[in-house]
Amino acid sequence: MTISKEIAPHLPYLRRYARALSGAQKRGDAYVIMTLEALVAEPDSFPNQYGARVGLYRVFMRIWSSIALDQRDEEAIEVDEGASVAQRNIASLTPRSRQAFLLGTVEGFGDSDVAFILDVAAGEVERLKAEAGREIAELVATDVLIIEDEAVIAADIELLVQDLGHRVVGVARTHKEAVALAVRERPGLVLADIQLADGSSGLEAVNEILGRFDAPVIFITAYPERLLTGERPEPAFLISKPYKGDSVKATISQALLFGRSATRDRG
CATH number for the domain including 72? Answer: 1.20.140.160
Last residue of a domain, one of 87, 116, 137: 137
Count of the separate structural domains present in the chain: 2
Range of the domain at 133: 3-137
Kindly state whether residues 77 and 170 are assigned to the same domain.
Answer: no
Phi, psi torsion values for 121, nearest 5 degrees: -75, 155
Kindly state whether residues 159 and 225 are assigned to the same domain.
Answer: yes
Q: Collect the ranges in the chain with pLDDT lower than 50.
A: 70-76, 232, 261-267
Please tell me the predicted confidence (pLDDT) of residue 71: 46
Q: Which residues contact 25 (CB under 8 A, 6 or more apart)?
A: 15, 19, 80
Residue 263: inside a domain, yes or no? no
Kindly state whether residues 112 and 197 are assigned to the same domain.
Answer: no
- Specify the 3-state DSSP secondary structure of 196: coil
Please tell me the predicted confidence (pLDDT) of residue 188: 94
Kindly state whether residues 118 and 168 are assigned to the same domain.
Answer: no
Peptide bond into 43 cis (omega under 30): no
Last residue of a domain, one of 83, 113, 137: 137
pLDDT in tens, 8-38: 999 999 998 998 888 778 888 999 999 999 9
Cα 142 from Cα 193, distance rounded (Å): 20
pLDDT in tens, 39-84: 999 998 899 889 999 999 999 999 998 876 544 444 445 555 555 6
Kindly state whether residues 133 and 198 are assigned to the same domain.
Answer: no
Last residue of a domain, one of 85, 107, 137: 137
Kindly state whether residues 150 and 122 are assigned to the same domain.
Answer: no
Kindly state whether residues 18 and 37 are assigned to the same domain.
Answer: yes
Please tell me the predicted confidence (pLDDT) of residue 11: 94
